[in-house]
Amino acid sequence: MQFVPFGDVVGADGAEWFSIDDEADVFHGEVVDTRDVIVFEGTSVAQLKKEFKFSVDDYLKVCEERGRTPDKPFSGKIPLRVPPEVHRAATAAAKA
């Protein structure tokens, strides 16, 4: 399985990743760096984009219905002013 930044494919902000399941011919995607789970999948890039938008819209709707503020991906801005990739790596290491 190969993991690729979704933003590299669709021009998103880089907080989304997808993997390619070669055996099933399916793309699996996830919005990372949030406390909530937001996933999507598709069999083509067009379907992946559509399902990504649907999943994010659905997440925002559920948050609104529950009176919650939607969680946002990390900005990469901490007092050290490190690049987002370093912030993401530090967070991943902290979760491990």
What tens digit of pLDDT does each residue of 6-62 get? Answer: 454 444 454 566 677 777 778 888 887 778 888 888 888 888 888 888 988 898 899
Task: Provide the CA 29 distance to its chain's centre, in angstroms.
Answer: 7
CATH topology of domain 2-95: Double Stranded RNA Binding Domain (3.30.160)
Residue-level pLDDT at 66: 94
Give phi and psi for 41, each to the nearest 5.
Answer: -155, 160
Sketch the domain layout of the chain as residue ranges: 2-95
Which pTM was predicted? 0.60
Q: With a cut of 80, say whether residue 87 has pLDDT above it.
A: yes
